[in-house]
Amino acid sequence: MNQANIKDLLSKIKTFPSMPATGAKMLKMLENPETTVDEIEDVLRHDPGLTGNVLKLANSAYFGIPAKVASTRQAVLLLGLRKLIQLVIASCVNAVMDKPVPGYNLPPGDLWRHSIAVSIAAEALVKDSHNVESEDIFTPALLHDIGKLILGHFIKEAQEDIDKIASSGVPYAVAEQMVLGTDHAEVGAQVLTQWSFPQEVIDAVRWHHGPDSPDRKAAAVDIVYLANLLCQTADDAENADRQETDLSPAVVERLGLDIGQFDDVKTRVAEWVDELAEALTFN
Ligand SMILES: [Fe+2]
Ligand SMILES: [Fe+2]
């Protein structure tokens, strides 16, 4: 891909659909420790469709709430404020992400399902890790591959070249860099920057294929990297997200995890991915 094409690609990012207004407001609330339930209720009141989606999600067995959640206020009480905001954001990005991605041989819904699987794995890893307290991991994990939505439109013509390089054992994101001059992780980070996501979310997306980069800072980077690796299916290894095959030992050490725990994480993903994918699909 020549420089002109890269420029064209970056201009496409500038015209990428904007984050729905409610999602943008919620992001601001997530950053503000003083946010109250009343403020969240105020925003959601104007968006009954979204409220319905969020309640459907809150009632999913994945979140393990025994009582039926019937109102925003109740959802905040039972799930906590941060979790509720994360679910609202997830509802907002669903519309953008549940689409076929032309260039990566990804059928409709596949990227969304993979993203949900990585979110489940990421939450399980946070729970298992001795070194990570509590991390708002759901959102960065859900969004980690969002750059593929953009690159997918360009990668078609470059797919053969990227595949050829990747088939010689080069990680997929590196092959993208070699052919396109950028990769889906960087493009995703740029989209989220435009959407004014918090810096931790942007960083976790930017470094999800390069957790040992000297620029990475937060534990969220390690978690999303590892969760993504654990959620690679045999199919991915063949095409869409072929990447590092060796786990970074530094990441495992930083997180205070034991490789023996990873099978449990995979089991948890298998157990919940259908449930959560169903809860996160809105008509
Ligand atoms: Fe990726
Ligand atoms: Fe991925």
**In the CATH scheme, what is the code of domain 3-19+95-279?**
1.10.3210.10
Of 225 and 15, more confident: 225
Point out the ligand nearest to the CA of residue 106: 2
Ligand 1 centroid to Cα of residue 115, in Å, is: 10
How far apart are the CA of 144 and the centre of ligand 2, in A? 6
3-state secondary structure the chain: CCHHHHHHHHHHHHCCCCCCHHHHHHHHHHHCCCCCHHHHHHHHHCCHHHHHHHHHHHCCHHHCCCCCCCCHHHHHHHHCHHHHHHHHHHHHHHHHHCCCEHHHCECCCHHHHHHHHHHHHHHHHHHHCCCCCCCCCHHHHHHCCCHHHHHHHHHHHHHHHHHHHHHCCCCHHHHHHHHHCCCHHHHHHHHHHHCCCCHHHHHHHHCCCCCCCCCCCCHHHHHHHHHHHHCCCHHHHHCCCCCCCCCCHHHHHHHCCCHHHHHHHHHHHHHHHHHHHHHCCCC
pLDDT class of 99 with cuts at 50, 70, 90: confident
Which residues hold their Cβ within 5 A of ligand 2, which is an ion?
145, 228, 241
Share of the chain above pLDDT 90, in %: 27
Q: Is 238 exposed, middle or buried (0-12, 13-18, 19+ CB in 10 A)?
A: exposed
- Please say if the pLDDT value at position 145 is more than 90: yes
Q: Which of 30, 31, 126, 37 is nearest to 86 (CA)?
A: 30
Which ligand is the nearest neighbour of the Cα of 243?
1
Q: pLDDT tens-digit profile of 173-185? A: 899 999 888 899 9
pLDDT tens track for 16-42: 666 778 888 888 888 888 999 899 999
Q: Which of 65-69, 115-119, 196-200, 209-213 has the highest mean pLDDT?
A: 115-119
Provide mean pLDDT across the span 86-109: 78
Q: Ligand 1 centre and the CA of 99: distance in Å? A: 17
What pTM was computed for the model?
Answer: 0.87
CA–CA separation, 69 vs 55, rounded Å?
Answer: 7
CB atoms within 10 A of CB 53: 22
Minimum-distance ligand to the CA of 186? 1
What is the predicted pLDDT for the residue at 240? 47
Residue 127 corresponds to which tokens in the numbers above? 């729970």
Task: With cut-offs at 50, 70 and 90, classify the pLDDT of residue 221.
Answer: very high
Q: Per-domain residue ranges for the chain?
A: 3-19+95-279
Number of the ligand closest to the Cα of 115: 2
Q: How far is the CA of 52 from the centre of ligand 1 (A)?
A: 31
Residue 126 has pLDDT above 90, yes or no: yes
The better pLDDT of the pair 17, 71 is held by 71
Instruction: Mean pLDDT check: name the lowest of 157-171, 186-200, 226-240.
Output: 226-240
Distance 220 CA to ligand 1 centre (A): 15
